[in-house]
A and B are shown apart, each in its own frame.
Chain A
Amino acid sequence: MSNQTPFALLANATSLPQHEIPEWPVTELVGHTARELARGARLCTWFGVPERSGTRLVSVLAFDADNALAVARSAPFRGDYPSLTLAHPQAHLFEREVFEQHGLKPAGHPWLKPVRKPDATGTAPAHGEFFRVAGREVHEVAVGPVHAGIIEPGHFRFQCHGEEVLHLEIALGYQHRGIEEALVGGPHRATLCQMEAVAGDTTIGHTTAYAMTLEALAGAEAPLRAQWLRALALELERLANHAGDLGALANDVAFLPTSAACGKIRGDFLNLTALMCGNRFGRAFVRPGGCRHDLEPARMAQLLEKLRLALADVEQAAQWLWDANSVRSRFEGTGTVPTARANAVGLVGVAARASGLVRDVRFDHPVGWHRFAQAPVAVWPSGDVFARAKVRWLEIQRAGKFLEEQLAAPPAGGIRDNLSSLASDALAVTLVEGWRGEVCHVALTDEAGRFRRYKICDPSFHNWTGLALALRGSAISDFPLCNKSFNLSYCGFDL
């Protein structure tokens, strides 16, 4: 498929000079992108790059079956362009984002409004227009931005008929702190620590994507042992979050044994990351050019021993969850996103795999240590809360096995090289399968090798729409359970 595309092809975590990227008038870019999406490509990201004579749109696609990424761009322009969303709903948030950031209007977009900022009259993202269902017995429920627990801020607007949710619209942006804006002209002194805090629970995922993007631009690769360390840390991050999610799901259906156990086990996994680098979230561990800490033999033995204990604990806690009829009846058939719909809105990661889509960067676009070692992709077809829990459980088991195998055969060598300066006028794309799904970083450099534009796409950007769709036709009382089953990032979306 990819051999017939007019797009420029590149492998994951590589770069190419900007003059090699095909440049078309924007109408053609939309047309070519639409054709590739219709043939089964996936939209990784779609963003604007400000130029003197207007804004340039960049389209980054993934041909998963061909293990290839593809990129193309428009000539700089101002004003309107034909909307891609009409044929391909997976583009809808990207087009809204471009509209918000650059004022380019996708003509025909069905629901054009900002994605993070309030409209002109308001001071908060919930100040703005919401899609409303009319009818005498229809009522609206507004939730947030401040929630009942210790949770990030976001606003949810439900259109309900009795208990039934007809439509859910999610207004985010409360966590917007200007990460992408600050990256222009970078890398700056604070860039690395901001990458670690794009989404605090995905520190390893985002920092690895950033480090590999810089390495691609510098024409270098981190030492093998550093790639191995990053792969270990990535799976530890997955284990901690998935175990925590199983506990949170159990809590939302009032199944306390698993909830109580997993709350602690999540901490046990976080402490394994802290054993590697001192910080439970993996801060100050991944560095461009390698890693900051090594795993010496005694530490490795300790890690393996504690890992086995935590894996045994989570096995037990999960077994209760699957054995309890009450849990099964609450999980099954709740918040279903059918495969075709998941594909249409471009879901990634756990949510995609739980809707039967075989989609995993570690498998489709292997890079770093994943070229040498892989775990089977965990897929479940039913698209409901049960499936999203089940995929997490399968991934816990497979991540555990992966770690045990990898810790048995560590590669030798150094852990960090110095990077040379970044290529000028180049573009690099990196995908990393974080625990939620595909983390995508794209860097474009200027003539001095500084960032002209740096685009971050957290998996949550693709998946919030999935949550909204999962609620359609469900009872509003199922919202907490559905929300937990996706467990998306607000800060990763809001940047």
Chain B
Amino acid sequence: MLAFDIILHRLQRGCQTMSYPEGPAPALPDRHGGALRVDTTKCAEGCSACVPVCPTLAITQKPHQPVTLDLGQCIFCAACVEACPTKAITQTNDHRLAVNRREDLVLGRQGEEEVRLATALEKKLRKLFGRSLRLRQVSAGGCNACEADTNVLGTIGWDLARFGIQFVASPRHADGLLITGPISKNMELALKKTYDAVPEPKIVIAVGACAIAGGPYIGHAQHHNGASVLVPVDLFIPGCPPHPLTILDGLLRLLGRFEKL
């Protein structure tokens, strides 16, 4: 009998939702590498090997100055890691990448070797959203990978709803937007209308390199190189696409859910 077969199977399987964040975070794939770290004290004199290999111009260098790496522009291809002769740019295997301010993604200066992770929303917003956050997702000009790995958070392994976070169909029911893509010109009007339709107070989360700075298509005239040109962004989650664990970490960080653990 089909029904019995299904029930039996489910009983045998037990709960398939991961124990994170109470338990340990699932390991990133070994070749993933996680976040990047830039220690410019290790840079060789006059070296700029990493600058020309970056496909999205995330690494810049002013004359006679150390390099700067903007993780908001980075697509994590690790070409710079391979090109660096002195291991000044390294992978940390850390999945945590979300920040509150755009400049917190810029690495290179002393004391700013790694991203400055996001802090929780201020008290009033946390009281409103901390245990119940409804988001409307707006996809605007990307490649659908960020959308796919955001969707994954709704599956049984991740079960985003256990944190009180849900994606809703109407902006009127939402507390904020989760935006992916560089915001194509063709989506500008739709994004503005959706943003306006979300009642105050509201938050905006930009997921992926595109929504932060244009991603692989940086500089094209057909889009806006990221969401913050059009709407104020409260949380930036870098990656191309970010691993689901990175997105979840960002959401929980913003809601202050790690502080209670």
Residue B231 is within 8 A (CB to CB) of chain A in the complex: no
Residue B155 at the chain A interface, CB threshold 8 Å = yes
Return A335 CB to nearest CB of chain B, in Å. Answer: 22
Contacts of A413 in B (CB 8 A): none
Interface stretch, picked from B4-12, B63-71, B101-109, B123-131, is: B4-12
User: Residues 4-46 of chain B: 1 if any A CB is under 8 Å from the residue's CB, otherwise 0?
Assistant: 0110011000001000000000000111110000000000000
A69 CA / B1 CA spacing, docked (Å): 51
- Bound together, the chains give a CA A276 to CA B32 distance in angstroms of 10
**Which residues in A have their C-beta under 8 angstroms from that of B187?**
124, 145, 153, 174-175
Q: Is the CB of B6 within 8 A of A177?
A: no
* A201 with B145: CB separation less than 8 A: yes
Q: Are B216 and A190 in contact (CB under 8 A)?
A: yes
Assess A491 versus B220: contact at CB under 8 Å? Given A124-B190, A145-B190. Answer: no
Q: 0/1 per residue, B135-148, Cβ < 8 Å to A?
A: 01111111111111
B184 contacts A by Cβ under 8 Å: yes
Cβ contact within 8 Å between A151 and B147: yes
Alpha-carbon distance A196/B151, docked complex (angstroms):
20
Are the CB atoms of B75 and A193 closer together than 8 Å? yes
Give A178 to B147 CA distance when docked, in angstroms. Answer: 20
Is A280 at the interface (CB under 8 A from chain B)? yes
Let me know if B137 and A150 touch, CB within 8 A: yes
Partner pick for A281 among B57, B145, B186, B217, CB 8 A cutoff: B145
Which of A149, A198, A257, A266 is close to B6, meaning CB atoms less than 8 Å apart? A257
Closest to B1 in A: A323
Given A257-B10, A293-B31: A491 in contact with B143 (beta carbons within 8 A):
yes
Give chain A's interface residue range (CB within 8 Å of chain B): 35 or more
Interface flag for A409 (CB, 8 Å): no
Q: Do residues A490 and B144 form an inter-chain contact, with CB atoms below 8 A? A: yes
Contacts of A173 in B (CB 8 A): 186
- Contacting residues, chain B, for A284 (C-beta < 8 A): 77-78
From A153, A192, A267, A489, contact of B139 by CB (8 A)? A153
Interface residue? A176 (CB, 8 A): yes
**Contact among B56, B189, B220 with A177 in the assembled complex (CB-CB below 8 Å):** B220
CB–CB B148/A201 < 8 A: yes
Cross-chain contact A182 with B2 (CB below 8 angstroms): no
Which chain B residue has the least Cβ–Cβ distance from A191? B55
Please name all residues of chain B whose beta carbon is closer than 8 Å to the beta carbon of A278 when the two chains form the complex. 29-33
From the candidates B141, B151, B216, name the one contacting A174 in the complex (CB within 8 A): B141
A178 & B32 in contact (Cβ 8 Å cutoff): no
Instruction: Give the docked Cα–Cα distance between A423 and B223 (Å).
Output: 33
Is A374 interfacial (CB 8 A cutoff)? Answer: no
Which residues of chain B from 162 to 201 have a CB within 8 Å of any chain A CB? 167, 169-170, 181-182, 184-190, 194
Query: Closest residue of chain A to B138, judged by CB?
Result: A146
The proximity string for B residues 145-159 relative to A, scoring 1 for CB distances below 8 Å and 0 otherwise, is 111111110111100
| Chain B residues with CB below 8 A from A320, complex form | 2, 5-6
CB–CB A189/B55 < 8 A: yes
A176 to B190, Cβ gap below 8 A? no
* Chain B min CB distance to A142 (Å): 13
Number of interface residues, chain B, beta carbon within 8 A: 65
| Structural contact, B216 and A193, CB atoms closer than 8 A | yes
In this assembly, does B215 line the interface, its C-beta being within 8 Å of a C-beta of chain A?
yes
B89 at the interface (CB under 8 A from A): no
Across the A-B interface, how many residue pairs have beta carbons closer than 8 Å? Answer: 183
Interface residue? B251 (CB, 8 A): no
Can you list, as one digit per residue, whether each of A447-482 has a CB less than 8 Å from chain B (1) or not (0)?
A: 000000000000000000000000000000000000
- Cβ < 8 Å to B, chain A residues 174-200: 174-179, 181-182, 189-190, 192-194, 196-200
Shortest Cβ distance from A326 into B: residue:
B2
Chain A contacts of B75 at CB under 8 A?
193, 283
User: Quick check: B29 and A267 within 8 Å, CB to CB?
Assistant: no
Neighbour of B145 across the interface among A177, A181, A197, A490, CB < 8 A: A197
A4 lies within 8 A of chain B by Cβ: no
0 or 1 for each of A274-311: is its CB under 8 Å from B? (1 = yes)? 11111111011000000001000000000000000000
A118 sits at the interface (CB 8 A): yes
CB B124 to nearest CB in A, in angstroms, measures: 28
Chain A residue nearest to B16 (CB atoms) is A264
Provide the A158-174 mask, 1 if CB < 8 A to any CB of B, else 0. Answer: 00000000000000011
B222 touches A177 (CB 8 A): yes
A177:B141 contact, CB within 8 angstroms: yes
A223 at the interface (CB under 8 A from B): no
State the Cβ distance, A191 to closest chain B Cβ, in Å: 8
Residues in A neighbouring B57, C-beta threshold 8 A? 189
Asked whether, in the complex, the Cβ of B139 is within 8 Å of the Cβ of A277, the reply is no
Q: Which listed residue, B78, B143, B189, touches A200 by the CB 8 Å rule?
A: B143
**Do the beta carbons of A178 and B221 come within 8 Å of each other?**
yes
Q: Which residues of A contact B253 (CB under 8 A)?
A: none
Give the residues in chain B near A152, CB-CB below 8 Å.
139, 144, 147
Asked if B241 lies at the interface with its beta carbon under 8 angstroms from chain A, I say: yes
Which one, A124, A150, A194, contacts B216 given CB within 8 A?
A: A194
Q: Is the CB of B144 within 8 A of A177?
A: no
Query: Do residues B157 and A200 form an inter-chain contact, with CB atoms below 8 A?
Result: no
B5 to chain A, nearest CB (A): 7
Chain B hits for A175, CB < 8 A: 139-142, 181, 184, 186-187
Please, could you name 8 A-B residue pairs with CB atoms under 8 Å apart, sorted by A? A152-B147, A193-B240, A199-B144, A200-B142, A200-B148, A278-B33, A280-B149, A490-B144
CB-CB nearest 6 A-B residue pairs:
A200-B145, A278-B31, A148-B169, A200-B143, A263-B155, A178-B222
